[in-house]
Amino acid sequence: MAAFERICSGIPDMDQALDNIRLGDNVVWRVSNLQEFRYFCEPYIEQAIKDNRRIVYFRFASHEPLVKECPQVERIEIPLSHRFEDFTVKIHKIIEKEGFDVFYVFDCLSELQTAWATDLMMGNFFRVTCPFLFTLDTVAFFPIIRGKHSFHAVKKILNTTQLLLDVYSDRRNTYVRPAKVWNRDSETMFRPHIYNRETGAFRPILDGVQSSRFYQVLDKFQRTGEEQFTDSWNRFFNTAKMLYDNHMNTDDACNTMCNIMMTRDEKMRFMVKKHFTPQDYFNVRNHMIGTGMIGGKACGMLLSRAIVRNLAPDIDEVLEPHDSFFIGSDVYYTYIVDNGFWDIRVRQREEEEYFSLAEEFAQKLKNGVFSEEMQNQFLHILEYYGQDPFIVRSSSILEDGFGNAFAGKYESVFCANRGTLEERLLEFENAIRTVYASSMSLSALDYRKRRGLDKRDEQMALLVQRVSGSYYGSYYMPCAAGVGYSYSPYKFLKQIDPKAGMLRLVMGLGTAAVDRTEGSYPRLVSLDMPQATSCTTIAEKHQFSQRKVEAVDTSGHCVRQMYLDQIEGFLPEYLANILLDHDFDAERSFRERGIDRSVCFIACSGIVKNQILMKQIQDIMQLLQKEYEYPVDIEFTVNLSETGEYSINLLQCRPLKVFKDIGKALIPEDIAEEKIILENVHSSMGLSRNVKIDHIVLVDPIAYYNMPYVRKPNVAKLIGTINWKYKEKNKHMLLMVPGRIGTSSPELGVPTTFADISEFEAICEIEEKKAGYNPELSYGSHIFQDLVEAEILYTAVFANEKTLRFAPEKLAEYPDIVSLFTEDPELKQVVHVYDMSKVSCELCNDLQNERLVLYQQ
């Protein structure tokens, strides 16, 4: 049929008054009760049946059905869940399948609040559904209940729909006043009309007596000015706060606040409800922008603090109070809807475009604009923080959950927060856009796919935190920061107790504790022996110390990595004594040459020597582990004063996935030496296994070293190509690379992301002294967490007693199939892909005896 063709509504007088409902029209009826909607829906259905129309009734609400069961109407039941995206996509797929010229009736949109808790998402649903229906030349009837929605929510509908009709009733009459009739006009169209249900008469009110009666009815349904602008979300919280202030029971309200705002994870919900007070929920709401969930990272941070407060009040006294803000998950969807690329979001969820559309969608996320209303709320955060730096962190709904850490998968963006208000707002908005766009990164998508989460709603909430710290000249940073693990099954010293927990401790911002950067090593701290290190001399301690400090450069409006000598002069003497150690051997060498020079390096010795502080951090993690009934990892900062006082800022807490080795590896005792490619001890991390290896990818250390620096990232890209070529092909592959895998610095190793290596069975880092490549597992780094979660075996080749045999030259006996992946002659000299599938090559890892063997049978 022709688009915009007139159709019959079943009420001829109304057709004449409105110049007919047309194909493509979405008709929204704002009613006081659903019986009023039936007055107009029933004739519409009867007429559609008479005209042999295809009719679909979407049933999702708890109210009584709006359409009687009959063979001419297809009733489709869609369970109403909290998952906005799943619900919306299901309906869109049905609409797409039904095609053109279909007549629809939807259950009451007001009931969407029961699942989504806010008018905002109801408006978003309508904004993406109405245009989709319009393109298919359908007609759809929607009821909404008057007084249930804010002016802003109704405005979204009003701006999108073709017709919005207000219905009012008293005992004698039913009145209809069109609020919008798109692309049609007449002298009387927008006047109030009286509808006689008995006769079908539908006439405009023209005389004063009838007008007076209409306005008497209208007056009964008017809301106060404040109510008109209050979302259902805010009305609920206002009611809950009133109950609390009047000392009434708030148990049900607290349960609801937890369910709609904090988390969807049942175990996390149990802990939140156990440890949160009503005031805790209200405090979250007071610091929240928008509606929806605050996300996993924010929930974990708040829950961990509540646990410490309730169960360890003495430690709580030294915890720095948080002053964070939360940008709700609904803002993410609203941003997508308002900027008009919801269709790309829906397409990207599908298998065939899951990866291919990601880059386009990420660009859309980077280039969208925020509404004026949202910008005003962002300004409130800027006003609160003044010109102190803050960080915008991802806090997606699935993040930091049990088994799904998403460590390092999404961006965190520091804001220096300096300049004019307009400049600061732009910096803030760009940070939000960057985090939103990171939801489409290859690493994040691959992570979700590998864990079966690709069909789940992954709304991106945001956690906005003031950077904890002090000013040192124009630089701003905490004294120290790090990550902590309540349980560490991988020993960096033989004598330590894994149950005691460990820290990766750095001076300055904590990003240096989780990234692998050039020549820089965080201090590893076992909390049963905080001062112990694997270094035996001062020279070794200096060599394997933290070389680069990260701080917010407030004058440069960025985060800066600096060598110690660039910031050392700004440190007060008391702090330098706590964080820095002297390299006495180097100083002695200078003195022998007549040079009086102080040589310091970062060691954080004064912190690890503070027994009370170390014990409190350990107690925090053990307490959280007990409540979580699961090992945890935390992020924290430490700030110290000249008087010896200190504060701990607990920034993050999440469950830590730890695998217990229940398997056994059988390593034959009669392997001939000439068959062994690699054998080492005390150099591996991962579960016991015996596995046949199909392909070995080897990056030649010397050839890689000799490559031009700018071309080294191409090696990582080639590894990624190989990784994705064999994705889900049930191939067992071993990757052998010089230096560190997953580093951001090509001079340290191959700068891969986890998405480049996710399909490998095992990763082997190779020491090459001539080129200066050194393996370093980086316990507690993001790449470490990735390997643990994916059960990828890690091992290393060292030029010491740990490596018993290493004969990479034996691999040259096998076909090198690198040409299948690249035609670049230089890359072919650096990367080799040995096909072991036609021979028997086995990798054996015996975790109990800490021995690994790779051999050909």
Which pair of structure tokens corresponds to residue 13?
Answer: 């007088």
Higher pLDDT, 704 or 491: 704
How does residue 234 score in pLDDT terms, banded at 50, 70 and 90? confident
**pLDDT value at residue 516:** 57
At residue 29, does pLDDT exceed 90?
A: yes
The average pLDDT across 77-99 equals 91
CA 555, distance to chain mean position in Å, is 30
Cα–Cα distance, 435 to 186 (Å, whole number): 49
**Cα separations (Å) of 376 from 154, 232, 391, 637?**
20, 20, 19, 31
Burial 443-458 (b: 16+ CB within 10 A, else e): bbbbbbbbeeebbbbb
If you average pLDDT over residues 566-592, what whole number do you get?
92
State if pTM tops 0.85: no
Mean pLDDT over 406-434 rounds to: 92
As a whole number, the mean pLDDT across the chain is 90
- How distant is the alpha carbon of residue 601 from its chain centre? 36
Report the pLDDT value the prediction gives residue 71, as an integer from 0 to 100.
Answer: 95
Which among 10, 7, 14, 12 has a CA at the least distance from the CA of 175? 14
Q: Please say if the pLDDT value at position 579 is more than 50.
A: yes
Is residue 226 scored above 50 in pLDDT? no
Mean pLDDT lowest for which of 80-94, 266-280, 504-518? 504-518
- Of 502, 487, 524, 297, give the one whose Cα is nearest residue 391: 297
The burial class, CB within 10 Å (0-12 / 13-18 / 19+), for 642 is exposed
CA angle 64, 69, 72 (to 5 degrees): 140
Give the orientation angle of helix 296-311 with respect to helix 266-275, to 10 degrees.
40
Q: Which two tokens stand for residue 546?
A: 């933290």
Q: Report the pLDDT averaged over residues 411-421.
A: 94
Task: Give pLDDT tens digits for 765-821.
Answer: 999 888 878 887 655 566 677 777 778 888 999 989 999 999 999 999 999 999 999
The owner of tokens 């002069």 is 569
Number of Cα atoms under 13 Å in the Cβ half of residue 632: 27
> What is the reported pLDDT for 245?
94
Integer CA distances (angstroms), 563 to 197, 514, 544, 545, 601, in order? 82, 18, 14, 12, 10
Mean pLDDT over residues 143-149, rounded? 90
Q: Which residue has the tokens 């560490």?
A: 488
Alpha-carbon distance of 285 to 519, in angstroms, equals 44
- What ranges in 9-139 are assigned the alpha helix state H? 12-17, 34-50, 84-98, 112-116, 119-135
* C-alpha to C-alpha distance for 482 and 428, rounded to whole angstroms: 25
Looking at residue 455, its pLDDT comes to: 77
Confidence of residue 661 (pLDDT cuts 50, 70, 90): low
Q: What is the pLDDT of residue 117?
A: 84
Give CA 201 to chain center in angstroms: 56
User: Model confidence over 458-514: pLDDT tens digits?
Assistant: 789 999 999 999 999 999 999 999 999 998 866 667 778 889 999 989 999 988 777
26-35, 580-589, 720-729, range with greatest mean pLDDT: 26-35
H helices present in 117-197, as ranges: 119-135, 151-160
Residue 566: partners with Cβ closer than 8 Å, 6 or more residues away: none
Q: Do 114 and 62 touch, CB atoms closer than 8 A?
A: yes
Which tokens in the block code for residue 506? 């750095």
* Residue 290: φ, ψ to 5°: 80, -160
- The β-bridge partners of 575 are none
Question: Residue 629: is its pLDDT beyond 50?
Answer: yes
Chain segment 514-550, per-residue pLDDT in tens: 765 555 788 989 999 999 887 888 988 898 889 899 9
In this structure, of 24-33, 212-221, 253-262, 844-853, the range with the lowest mean pLDDT score is 212-221
Using the predicted structure, report yes or no on whether residue 27 has a pLDDT greater than 80. yes
CB-CB contact of 50 with 86 (8 Å):
no
| pLDDT tens readout for residues 419-432 | 999 999 999 999 99
| CA torsion, ordered 478, 484, 490, 495, to nearest 10 deg | 80
Name the residue among 698, 761, 753 with its Cα closest to residue 733: 761
Which H or E element spans position 55? strand 54-59
Q: For residues 464 and 728, what is the distance between their CA atoms, to the nearest angstrom?
A: 37
pLDDT at residue 451, rounded to an integer: 78
What is the share, in percent, of the chain residues with pLDDT greater than 90?
A: 66
Give the DSSP per-residue string, 609-631.
T-HHHHHHHHHHHHHHHHHHTS-
In this predicted structure, what is the pLDDT of residue 224? Answer: 47
Tell me the C-alpha distance between 794 and 742, whole Å. 12
Q: In terms of C-beta distances under 8 Å and separation of at least 24 residues, what long-range contacts does 766-769 make, across chains too?
A: 766/701, 766/736, 766/737, 766/738, 766/739, 766/796, 766/797, 767/739, 767/796, 767/797, 767/798, 767/799, 768/701, 768/702, 768/705, 768/738, 768/739, 769/799
